[in-house]
Amino acid sequence: MTQRIEQPDYQVGDVLRVSCKPTPARVAEVSSFYVSVEWPWGGIDPDSRYSWDGQVALPVEPDSWEWSLFRTEQDPRTLKANDTCLVGIPETLVRVLDVSHYDPPTDTGRLPRPHTLMTVLPVDHPCVEGSDEDEGDTIELDCAAPIVIERLTCSP
């Protein structure tokens, strides 16, 4: 039985500082738009209804319409399949757009299954009414990646 560590009660509007120490990962595939890496944290959930392949695709272009917290330390445009790269989250200020709680934890195809998902967007990213959640990235609380989260301001 795993023990759940209580997390702060994050709210929509909170401003957070997030980071994750870079960890080595193997590049599985590179396309014009994405670099796919073998995810170095957690594992494939054998009881999942999804068939996750253990890879995560990260945008190649830094100004892509699709934004990701996680990045490769090396310029992704220079990576090739079978390269080893470092994947992490550079210190980033984000605002919380949505918080979803799941009991039991939700099936994402990965282990551990998360009980809380937060959608976030960089604080300097321009907001378009009604489209924030589509533009944001998700933080899984209690995930295997060693994400460091510091709340800087609380929502009113």
The answer to whether residue 99 scores a pLDDT higher than 60 is yes
52 DSSP assignment: -
Quick: pLDDT tens for 5-20.
Answer: 455 689 999 999 999 9
pLDDT score at 5:
47
Q: Which amino acid is at 118?
A: M
Instruction: Classify residue 44 by burial, with Cβ atoms within 10 Å: 0-12, 13-18, 19+.
Output: middle
Confidence of residue 134 (pLDDT cuts 50, 70, 90): low
The answer to whether residue 4 scores a pLDDT higher than 50 is no
Distance CA 19, CA 57 (A): 19
Quick: pLDDT tens for 33-86.
Answer: 999 999 999 899 999 999 999 999 999 987 776 789 999 999 999 999 999 999
The answer to whether residue 95 scores a pLDDT higher than 90 is yes
pLDDT score at 136:
86
pLDDT score at 155:
63
Distance CA 43, CA 92 (A): 25
pLDDT score at 93:
96
In the structure encoding, which two tokens stand for residue 58, read together?
């990260």
Distance CA 137, CA 69 (A): 6
Can you point out the beta strands (E) in 31-156? 34-38, 43-44, 55-59, 71-72, 84-101, 110-111, 116-122, 137-141, 147-153
Contact between 88 and 82 under an 8 Å Cβ cutoff? The reply is no
